[in-house]
Structure 1
Amino acid sequence: MTPFYVAIFILGLSSRATAANFTQVFEWKELDYEWPSEASRTKALKDNTYNPAQIYPRYMAVHGTRIFLSLEKNDGAPASLVSLPTSSASSAPPKLTPFPSLDIHLNESEKCDKINRAEGLQVDSVGRLWLLDWGNSFFNCSAKLWIFNLNNNETELIHRFSFTGKMHDLVIDETANGTFAYIARWSVVNIVVFSLERNESWIVETPGVEVLSIAMSPKEERKKLYIGQSSKEELYSISVAALRNGTRTANPEFIGKWTETPFRMLVDNHGTLLAASLWENFIYSWNTSQPFKEQRFYEVAELDYIWPFSFALDQNGTLWLTEFDKAKTPRFRIFKESQECSGSCPKSGTA
């Protein structure tokens, strides 16, 4: 596929480049899987366990030469965690490969040792993929944290929580004294902290703040966890040091208000916080080294989907972006921040 460039609108000051640009990597009219055989695909279409119209991307992670996506769990989505290559010599967009295999997803939702509903994704510095899994309340399967070794695609750890459902997003905090995950659930007044070395998790109350989105600053000094409040526009921060030390209550510090409530946030290696909101056709940014001031970072003419964007950083700090519109063709696009451009790339695509 021949790439083309998409210019990002950036207004005002930002710690990123003043004219960042994206290259479109792939686009799809409809998403399809790699199937064991054509017969298995035909059967899945017939019994509606696979329906291209029901494949909706949610979260994204990038590592090495692979992109990982979690997909909305629908009857027509046989696997909610998939991978695809970061580039292809073919003009056709790649198919989705169920990760780590199809049999850990397909027709096995009643078994608690399977991936029931994949949600937030992150890759750590040593090449492990961390995945949140809602579990299944109907079959009394608790929510889980999966950790996969991407060197061999094998499961390294499954941590089972004491609750079911509401898993949303996570960040990974790698320290000299251990690795932690901070986990946001949908609309609860707490976050979950997980210690990898102890294989232990605990609840940290966030009084007065129903947590939705979550992100973490990159710099070790005065490291902060940023949290967005559910159904409100407020942005808060929590000291990461207190979370590492085992506190069971963290009092969020108010930072400012977005125009809309972000469902997804990320802080890049320069300290710019990106935020995407439900149903909105734009992404905000804020330079965290300056007083809070919302900027319009990226905007498209129109997108018809509740979850229009996701984004991720690869191990080189390059920003990747997904864009989805269920009412148009192509429905789904993946972009990569262009390293070749310095403000002179031609505008194209939907931006």
Structure 2
Amino acid sequence: MTPIFVAIFLLGLSSQMATAANFTLVYEWPDKWECECPSEANSTKVLSIESSNPGYIDPQFMAVYGSRIFIILEKHVGIPVSLVSLPTSSASPAPPKLTPFPSWDMHGNDGDCDKIESSRGLEVDSVGKLWVLDNGSSKCNYSKIWSIDLANNDQTKLIHRFPFYGHLNDLVLDETPNGTFAYITRWFEQNIVVFSLERNQSWTVDTPGIMFFSIAISPMNQEPRQLYLGGWNSKGLYSISVAALRNGTLTANPKLIGNWTTSKSYRMLMDKHGTLFSAFWYKNYVKSWNTSQPFLERRFIKVGRHQYKMSFSLNI
């Protein structure tokens, strides 16, 4: 059978090691995923998500912290939750069942405004809090950001409501001595969103004529930091100075770095050494670029079959 999903982890790779990395298959689900979800009678049951329609099973984002992996699933009809967890390793040869995260009770359908309705980007901050975007619903009329304290019994907090709903895609975090900022991409929109945790305020920064989808940020020890953005409607890779975003600018003029040669960027991540990794729409590989050098993409890893979207995460 064709496996429906493979978990891949990039473990703190330096730019020198990136092209020579070895990968190990951690889990493989031959024909279905199973989710331990409560039934209506509130007793645990195993929900099987069959792989007869591969596009139906749609992992969007991954994050790793400690001994756990967190995965966002597209909230198709029949998919009961959009955020799940599983262990990074298991003594059993069988692949683990997915567990609703942080709990089954924290997930809701359209109109459950104080619950997680439709998750998107994931990011773990320096103190072990998992940030989760939530596109919300038209019934609630706003999108959200959640914070889940992974180091403190997964305490969950709704930290911000946006004055709009929908179209949130991915985020990166910028932790500074003066506060923490989140930078967020929105598909179909010619802007990005900035959120200040300390002020509990968000604002849009116009990017006239350019829509973005993927996003990454240069390492904390490489000031002035740069935001890297992949085009939604082009193969372009762009950058924006983070300093301007911190200072509250409402319009940015992204700098074009170059164009990916094969496809539009779907997901981007940056390691602590300044190497940018990107996965692409309808491609079965990840490419990398050492941002300290002129733009030159390199093939990093290729998986064995075609991927509509390939999710991956850094554990550093």
TM-score, scaled relative to structure 1: 0.79
Q: Where does residue 298 of structure 1 map in the other structure? A: 301
Map 1:95-114 to 2 at 5 A: 95-106=97-108, 108-114=109-115
Identical amino acids, percent of aligned pairs: 58
Cα deviation code 1:109-148 (max 9, x no counterpart): 32111111111101101010100111112x1431111111
Residues in 2 aligned to 1:83 and 1:234: alpha-carbon distance in whole angstroms = 33
Q: Where does residue 79 of structure 2 map in the other structure? A: 77
Q: Does 1:277 align with 2:275?
A: no
Q: Where does residue 61 of structure 1 map in the other structure? A: 63
The code of the aligned residue for 1:216 comes to I
Q: Where does structure 1 lack aligned partners over 5 or more consecutive residues? A: 1-5, 318-351
* Contact 1:109–1:115, Cα closer than 8 Å, also in 2: no
- Relative contact order, higher structure (CA 8 A, sep 6+): 1
Matched residue count: 297
- 1:31–1:161 distance in 2 versus 1, CA, 3 Å: same
Q: Where does residue 52 of structure 1 map in the other structure? A: 50
Question: 2:23 aligns to what SS in structure 1?
Answer: strand
Residues in 2 aligned to 1:120 and 1:114: alpha-carbon distance in whole angstroms = 16
Q: 1:288 aligns with which of 276, 285, 291?
A: 291
The code of the aligned residue for 2:84 comes to V
Q: Where does residue 186 of structure 1 map in the other structure? A: 187
Cα deviation code 1:63-110 (max 9, x no counterpart): 11110000011111111101111111111111111011112225x432
TM-score, scaled relative to structure 2: 0.88
Q: Where does residue 149 of structure 2 map in the other structure? A: 149
- 1:20–1:198 distance in 2 versus 1, CA, 3 Å: same
* Contact 1:179–1:195, Cα closer than 8 Å, also in 2: yes
Q: Where does residue 216 of structure 2 map in the other structure? A: 215
Q: Where does structure 2 lack aligned partners over 5 or more consecutive residues? A: 1-7
Q: Does 1:262 align with 2:260?
A: no
* Contact 2:36–2:45, Cα closer than 8 Å, also in 1: no
* Contact 1:52–1:76, Cα closer than 8 Å, also in 2: no
Q: Where does residue 244 of structure 1 map in the other structure? A: 246
- 1:187–1:114 distance in 2 versus 1, CA, 3 Å: same
Residues in 2 aligned to 1:51 and 1:302: alpha-carbon distance in whole angstroms = 21
RMSD of equivalent CA atoms: 2.3
Map 1:80-95 to 2 at 5 A: 80-95=82-97
Question: 2:184 aligns to what SS in structure 1?
Answer: strand
* Contact 2:38–2:45, Cα closer than 8 Å, also in 1: no
* Contact 1:181–1:195, Cα closer than 8 Å, also in 2: yes
Question: 2:28 aligns to what SS in structure 1?
Answer: strand
Q: Where does residue 164 of structure 1 map in the other structure? A: 165
Cα deviation code 1:207-250 (max 9, x no counterpart): 22211111001133221000111120111100011111111111
**Cα drift, residue 36 of structure 1:** 3.6
The code of the aligned residue for 1:266 comes to L
Residues in 2 aligned to 1:313 and 1:141: alpha-carbon distance in whole angstroms = 33
